[in-house]
Amino acid sequence: MSTDITGAGPHTTYRRVAVIGAGVIGISWTGLFLAHGLEVVVSDPRPDARDQVLAGLDEITPALAELGLPTENLTARLRFEADPAAAVADADVVQENGPERLEVKQRIWRLVEQAAPAHALLATSTSGIPATAIAEAMEQPERLVVGHPFNPPHLVPLVEIVPGERTAERTLLRARDFYASLGKKPQILRKEVPGFVANRLQSALFRECVHLVAEGVVTEAELDDIVTDSIGLRWAVAGPFRTFHLGGGPGGLPHFLQHLGRAMEATWPGLGSPSFDEPTVALLTEQAEEAFADGPVGELAARRDRAQIALMRALATAPATSGARA
C-alpha cells in the first residue's frame, strides 16, 4: 500500500520515508508511517537505536490498532541505516527529528539536501526553531518546511506546517496533503513565530498553572482536575474563540467582547510570572511524586492514550454541536 496524494505536483505517490532521529517523536512517526503501508528507513547514530525503535514500536502498536490501523507485521517494511545520506538516497519524504540545536539541524539538512532525490518532501519536526534559520545551510531553502506534530504524532491529529521565509508554496501544499493522507489534521501557519502556535498556548497556560501551584492556591492534582473538568472538556469540542462566541449569546463574539472583554482584560496584569527557581522546582517535584504515584510513566501514558482515543472516537461520531454558553 502507498500513500496517494493528489494536487501535489507530478510526484503524487509516496512509498518511502526516511526518519532521521529515532527519539520519542521519531519512533512515533515511524509507527504511523508503517501502519499506513509506507516503507521506512530509520537513521540514528546511537548504537542502540535499533533496539530502542523496536521496543518503542511495541509500546505504541496497541494504540495504532485501537485507531483501526493495520499492525500485523508492522516492521516488515522497516530497515535501519546509520548513514543519513544513504538513508535518504531513495526517499520520497524525509522527516527529521534530530536534537533541538540549530547547528545540528543545519548540519543534517545540508547533508540531506545533497543526498535526497530532487522530488523528496523535506520536513523537520522541530518544536520551535524557525525553518528560515535551519535552511540557511541549504542551497534550496524553498524545499524545507516545518512539520511539527503535537506529541505523540501517531495519536494526536495536529501537525503545524510552518514555512520559512523562502519556503515554496508548493512545498507547503505537498506537506499538507501528505500529512492529511495519514489521517492528520494539518494547519498551515501564515508566518513564523517562535514556538509556533500549539506550544505557545500550552506554555502560556502552564505558566499560570505553575504560578497558582507555587502560590498555594491549588495543588498540581487539584489543578489538573479543574482543567480536565472544565476548559479541557470545552476546548475539545470548541476552541477558545468559538467558546467565547457562544458565550456572547445571539450577539456572538462581538457582544462578548463588548460586555465582558474589558473585565477579562483587567485580569491580565495580575496573571503570574513564575520562574523555575529552586524552591518552585522542589515544590513541583514533591507534588508530582504524590500526584502521579499511581503507576509508572509508561502505564500512565498508556491510560492517557486509551482515554484520548476514546475521546477522539466520541468526537468523530458526535453530531455537530453549538456548545453551551461560557
- Phi, psi of 17, rounded to the nearest 5 degrees: -120, 135
Which CATH number goes with the domain that contains 286? 1.10.1040.10
Q: CA 240 to CA 201: how far, in whole Å?
A: 11
Query: Is the same domain home to 62 and 97?
Result: yes
Query: Is the same domain home to 129 and 266?
Result: no
Across the chain, mean pLDDT equals 92
**Residue 56: inside a domain, yes or no?**
yes
Cell of 106: 543545519
Scored b (16 or more CB within 10 A) or e, 236-248 reads ebbeeebbbbbbb
**Residue 324: inside a domain, yes or no?**
no
Q: Quick one: 184 exposed, middle or buried, by C-beta within 10 A (0-12, 13-18, 19+)?
A: buried
Strands 3-4 and 39-43: unpaired
- Phi, psi of 307, rounded to the nearest 5 degrees: -65, -40
Whose cell is 537505536? That residue is 49
Query: Is the same domain home to 152 and 25?
Result: yes
Q: Return the pLDDT at 298.
A: 85
Cell of 176: 499538507
**Residue 122: inside a domain, yes or no?**
yes
**Residue 301: inside a domain, yes or no?**
yes
Query: Is the same domain home to 106 and 216?
Result: no
Q: Return the pLDDT at 320.
A: 56
Which structural domain range is residue 232 located in?
A: 198-317
- Beta strands (DSSP E) in the chain are 3-4, 13-14, 16-20, 39-43, 78-80, 93-96, 121-124, 144-149, 158-163, 185-188
Per-residue pLDDT for 145 more than 90? yes
Per-residue pLDDT for 2 more than 50? no
Per-residue pLDDT for 78 more than 90? yes
Q: Return the pLDDT at 121.
A: 97
Please state the rounded mean pLDDT for residues 108-131: 96
Residues in the chain: 326
Q: Return the pLDDT at 5.
A: 40
Residue where one domain finishes, among candidates 153, 169, 188? 188
Number of domains in the chain: 2
pLDDT band of 301, cuts 50, 70, 90: confident
Per-residue pLDDT for 3 more than 50? no
- Phi, psi of 4, rounded to the nearest 5 degrees: -95, 130
Which CATH number goes with the domain that contains 9? 3.40.50.720
Please state the rounded mean pLDDT for residues 256-269: 95
- Phi, psi of 79, rounded to the nearest 5 degrees: -140, 165
Residue where one domain finishes, among candidates 161, 188, 215? 188
**Residue 139: inside a domain, yes or no?**
yes
Query: Is the same domain home to 23 and 157?
Result: yes
Per-residue pLDDT for 12 more than 90? no
Residue where one domain finishes, among candidates 188, 215, 230? 188
Q: Return the pLDDT at 192.
A: 93
N- to C-terminal Cα separation, the chain = 46
Per-residue pLDDT for 80 more than 50? yes
Please state the rounded mean pLDDT for residues 46-64: 95
pTM higher than 0.85, yes or no?
yes
Range from 161-170, 259-268, 272-281, 297-306 carrying the lowest mean pLDDT: 297-306
Range from 1-10, 142-151, 201-210, 215-224 carrying the lowest mean pLDDT: 1-10
Q: CA 301 to CA 158: how far, in whole Å?
A: 18
Whose cell is 495580575? That residue is 270
Beta-carbon count within 10 A of 308 CB: 15
CA angle, corner 237, sides to 236 and 240, nearest 5?
A: 80
Please state the rounded mean pLDDT for residues 229-252: 95
Query: Is the same domain home to 156 and 234?
Result: no
**Residue 93: inside a domain, yes or no?**
yes
Q: Return the pLDDT at 326.
A: 42
